[in-house]
Structure 1
Amino acid sequence: MTMTSTMIKELKTDGEIESSFNIMKQLRTHLNLQSYVKLVAAARKENQYRIFALYKKEEMLALVGFMPMITLYYGEYIWVCDLVTDDNNRSNGYGNVLLSYVHQWAKENHYHTVALSSGLARTDAHRFYEEKMGYDKVSFVFKKDME
């Protein structure tokens, strides 16, 4: 499979964001279209969140969402919030292309670290991050809902 026929584009308009929902829903199953568009808009405004789609011809195949962050642990870095390839197009290298794009974007914008978290049950994703993309497993993420 050749990647020469693919294109990566930042999604900026509500229409572009809406058009990505069916793919993002495969990762973020708890969201509906309205909450998705609202959250993306808020994250773009408040947290410099950016979302990019990978297309082959005119078909959207995969998405990556990320944002710059600052913590005492990593300093200034890029946090990958979302990385998903459409179910019908997995194992074609699209996740690799998008994550490599984030790495290049980070370098060009003077960030020296890219970090992400991945659900405990997503063992295929963990293997991808560690074996194919060279990520180190450095911590556990803990969560407590305040409801």
Structure 2
Amino acid sequence: MNKAIISFAISLVIGFGLGYLVFGVIMGDSDKQPQVAQTEPTDASSTTEKQDTEAVKETASVDEANILNSKGCLGCHAVDALGLEGGATGPDLSKAFTDVEGKHGKPIEEFLKEPTSAVMSGVIGGNPLTDEERTQVLDMLKQASEK
């Protein structure tokens, strides 16, 4: 019996040690972005890099302060057309502005007030959108459907 307990304890320590080594040390912290050395751009690539940087800044500001993030929509849904990563539980909302009426029998404006799906009824019923929030959501989803 003592050998079994000792074997279990050793296996436990080795298992946790290997897990820490693989996920903590080798794979690194997933919240940290890799550091890349900056070089001085040439004139030919300067314009392209500036445009790329501006696009990244725009996406970052949209991602951090948008209504879909603040109301928790991105916990279940992504909006690939806007570059917004989210959960995989719900469908991508890139075409929701045009597709909701066909799927749920009412325009998206009405669906956001009173959803016809059981899941969304529970979600929005527990955390309803104000008129201003609904307008912001509609604007973002319209923008996504146009891309």
Give the TM-score normalised by the residue count of structure 1.
Answer: 0.22
| Pair member with larger Rg | 2
More contact order relative to length (CA 8 Å, sep ≥ 6): 1
Give the TM-score normalised by the residue count of structure 2.
Answer: 0.22
* Bigger share in helix: 2
* Bigger share in strand: 1
